[in-house]
């Protein structure tokens, strides 16, 4: 067993590069005039934070959230124009859902196009010999009747290839003995 000396003086990683920050004028950075309004200067930090959140829409509902926030049951309409509008809205929603499902199906098909792992038949046995035989040349049964013959060969059901190989191997064993 070979042992490797450990050098505790060598750092495990490269030493970090430590530099002083560059002065702002060396980067040719120019800061413009302060554009803070007088109202913003008088705000507390909480008010200013709330104003910034409103500007960027942090707590605002997204379009898909608003769309999903509808009532599930449709109200009963009294006149035909409302009924027609409701029908058109329902049909538009169904078409959108169908289009979304088609896009999802296309995406999944593209993902599985080169990968056949999901479609492969899983082995039904836990016996490794049976699994290996099924991966080589799957057949129903060997027809030569020997119990120790292999379950694979050159593709024919006679088992002659395996038997001929076994006779050659046995002949060599006899020569050695």
Instruction: Give the least confident one: 8-12, 66-70, 132-136, 142-146.
Output: 142-146
User: Which residues in 129-144 are b (16+ Cβ under 10 Å) and which e?
Assistant: eeeebbeeeebeebee
Average pLDDT (141-165) is 49
* Confidence at residue 95, expressed as pLDDT on a 0 to 100 scale: 96
Across the chain, what does the average pLDDT equal? 73
* Confidence at residue 18, expressed as pLDDT on a 0 to 100 scale: 75
Spell out the domain ranges in the chain. Answer: 39-112, 128-176
What confidence tier does 3 reach under pLDDT thresholds 50, 70, 90?
A: low
Q: What is the pLDDT of residues 16-50, one digit of tens each?
A: 677 777 666 666 667 778 888 888 889 999 999 99
Whole-model pTM: value is: 0.31
pLDDT at 93 over 60: yes
């Amino acid at each position: 067993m070979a042992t490797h000396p450990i050098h505790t003086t060598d750092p495990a990683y490269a030493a970090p590069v430590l530099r002083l920050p560059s002065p702002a004028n060396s980067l040719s950075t120019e800061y413009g005039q302060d554009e803070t309004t007088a109202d913003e200067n008088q705000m507390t930090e909480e008010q200013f934070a709330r104003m910034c959140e409103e500007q960027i829409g942090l707590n605002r509902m997204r379009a898909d959230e608003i769309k999903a926030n509808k009532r599930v049951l449709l109200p009963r309409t009294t006149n035909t124009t409302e009924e027609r509008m409701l029908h058109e809205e329902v049909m538009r929603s169904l078409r959108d859902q169908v289009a979304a499902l088609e896009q999802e199906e296309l995406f999944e098909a593209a993902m599985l196009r080169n990968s056949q792992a999901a479609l492969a038949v899983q082995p039904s046995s836990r016996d490794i010999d049976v699994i290996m035989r099924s991966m080589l040349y799957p057949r129903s049964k060997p027809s030569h009747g020997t119990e120790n013959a292999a379950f694979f060969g050159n593709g024919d059901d006679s088992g002659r290839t395996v038997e001929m190989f076994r006779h050659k191997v046995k002949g060599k064993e006899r020569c050695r003995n």
